[in-house]
Amino acid sequence: MKLLKSVNKIAIILPYKEIYSENFSGAASIWVKDYFKKSILSNSTYIYGSLDKGLKPITKNFTNLNISDYSFSKTKNYIKKFYIDHLKKDFDIIEIHNRPEYLNFLIGKKIKSKLIFFFHNNPQDIRGSKTVKERINILEKTDKIFFVSLWTKKKFFENLPFSNKSNCEILYPSMSKIKKFNSNKKKQIVFTGKLNSSKGYDLFGKAIIKILDKHKDWSAIVAGNEPREKYKFKHKRLKIYPWLPHKKILQIYNDSSISVVPSRWEEPFGRTALESSSRGCATIISNRGGLSETTDYCYVLDSLNSKSLYEALKKLINNENLRKKLQTQGFKNVKHTIRANTQLIDSAREKLIHNFNLNFIKNK
């Protein structure tokens, strides 16, 4: 399909707690940034979020809906602020990320804009889409719904009287390929993300101390934080960093030999596995949620405990052929590329507006 760039104005609404800034960006911000930069419609796309003073947005075309002055009802005031701005700009398409409450508010206002919604998490865990009734209402009144994985889509349709609808599609988090594989990788193992038990950090910590004690020429890097859980894993060859900018994380993956994603939580997708595999890490994952959809070249844990993780790490360290096979195949065969998937979403936008314009003409 040839894109005609016929879309006039698109608004993208991030969750108000999502920090659209380089040093603090989460999965939704990275998703929006990646697709925005590659889209042929970026010049007519406007991103809405909430940033504190002193923080710089990752891209251009950002509007700050700062609600720091509000003590209560921040969600309502955030989407109300957007709605007021929308009345001035009259967007053709409004895209909402991971907050059904925002979507339901706009549906209630009976706006004329086409509505696209993106589920980044299990719909049954998000306020506004937990019940069957709420999800059916979203299906009937939203023009297009995207899910970050097949697993997430299945959770949406669970207990519904049907398993699919024509306005639903999967749009994976994606990566740009890099041209050159790093053949001088360090003997380094990496864990990034929230340092909590849901992400399996406790399992990683126990396993990595034993690995570093046994394999003196290997080291490990951890990058992340978690104020609600405290773990004190210490080793002279284990470096623990606070939250790092996304570019720095990708560079760590590029330098490292092995990455570990041992989540207990049912990951809606598991971006860290996609990223580390694409940068040539031999990636170890648990078989939880959408993690298995991230890459076809990884080591899947047969059971989720520190002993199983220790054995997996030991196997990849001792079996250089297996380690290098996972590294090179993951690097060469990035499963979800930003170029291809950006064309998919731009085509969906074009189609919505084309149909909207035709209907508008017919109804005149």
High-pLDDT (> 70) share of the chain, % = 95
Is residue 71 very low, low, confident or very high in pLDDT (cuts 50, 70, 90)? confident
The CB density around residue 3, as the number of other CB atoms within 10 Å, is 14
Q: What strands, in cross-sheet order, belong to the sheet with 93-97?
A: 62-64, 45-49, 10-13, 93-97, 114-119, 144-147, 168-170
Single out the residue of 112, 93, 125, 68 nearest to residue 13, CA to CA.
93
Check pLDDT > 80 for residue 360.
Answer: no
State how far the Cα of 138 lies from the Cα of 128, in Å rounded to an integer.
Answer: 9
Check pLDDT > 80 for residue 88.
Answer: yes
pLDDT of residue 158: 98
- pLDDT (average), residues 176-202: 96
Check pLDDT > 60 for residue 312.
Answer: yes
Measured in degrees and rounded to the nearest 5, phi and psi for residue 55 equal: -95, 135
Q: 100-147: per-residue pLDDT in tens? A: 999 999 999 999 999 999 999 999 999 999 999 999 999 999 999 999
Check pLDDT > 70 for residue 3.
Answer: no
3-state secondary structure 135-196: HHHHHHHCCEEEECCHHHHHHHHCCCCCCCCCCEEECCCCECCCCCCCCCCCCEEEEECCCC
Task: Output 88 or 3, whichever has higher pLDDT.
Answer: 88
For residue 348, the SS3 value is helix
DSSP state letter for 43: G
Check pLDDT > 90 for residue 353.
Answer: no
- Which residues have a Cβ under 8 Å from the Cβ of 35 and sit 6 or more positions away? 174, 338, 341, 342, 345
- Which residues have a Cβ under 8 Å from the Cβ of 185 and sit 6 or more positions away? 255, 256, 257, 280, 327
Single out the residue of 303, 326, 331 nearest to residue 316, CA to CA.
326
- Residue pair 130/47 in contact (Cβ under 8 Å)? The answer is no
pLDDT of residue 55: 92
- The strand pair at 62-64 and 93-97 is best described as unpaired
The distance of Cα 330 from the centroid of its chain, to the nearest Å, equals 19
Query: Which region among 66-80, 184-198, 213-227, 265-279 has the lowest average model confidence (pLDDT)?
Result: 66-80
Is residue 364 very low, low, confident or very high in pLDDT (cuts 50, 70, 90)? very low
Check pLDDT > 60 for residue 340.
Answer: yes
Is residue 11 very low, low, confident or very high in pLDDT (cuts 50, 70, 90)? very high
Dihedral angle sign, alpha carbons of residues 34, 39, 43, 47: negative
Check pLDDT > 90 for residue 4.
Answer: no
pLDDT of residue 355: 64
Is residue 7 very low, low, confident or very high in pLDDT (cuts 50, 70, 90)? low
Query: Which region among 8-17, 126-135, 181-190, 201-210 has the lowest average model confidence (pLDDT)?
Result: 8-17
Single out the residue of 117, 176, 174, 149 nearest to residue 341, CA to CA.
174
pLDDT of residue 91: 94
Q: How far is CA 291 from CA 45, 155, 283, 286, in A?
A: 30, 15, 11, 7
- pLDDT (average), residues 219-231: 93
pLDDT of residue 26: 87
- pLDDT (average), residues 259-268: 97
Single out the residue of 53, 268, 45 nearest to residue 154, CA to CA.
268
- Name the β-bridge partners of 114: 93
State how far the Cα of 52 lies from the Cα of 75, in Å rounded to an integer.
Answer: 16
pLDDT of residue 113: 95
Place of tokens 């052929």: 321
High-pLDDT (> 90) share of the chain, % = 87
pLDDT of residue 73: 86
Measured in degrees and rounded to the nearest 5, phi and psi for residue 174 equal: -135, 165
- pLDDT (average), residues 277-291: 97
pLDDT of residue 131: 98
Check pLDDT > 70 for residue 361.
Answer: no
- Name the β-bridge partners of 192: 223
State the chain's mean pLDDT as an integer: 93
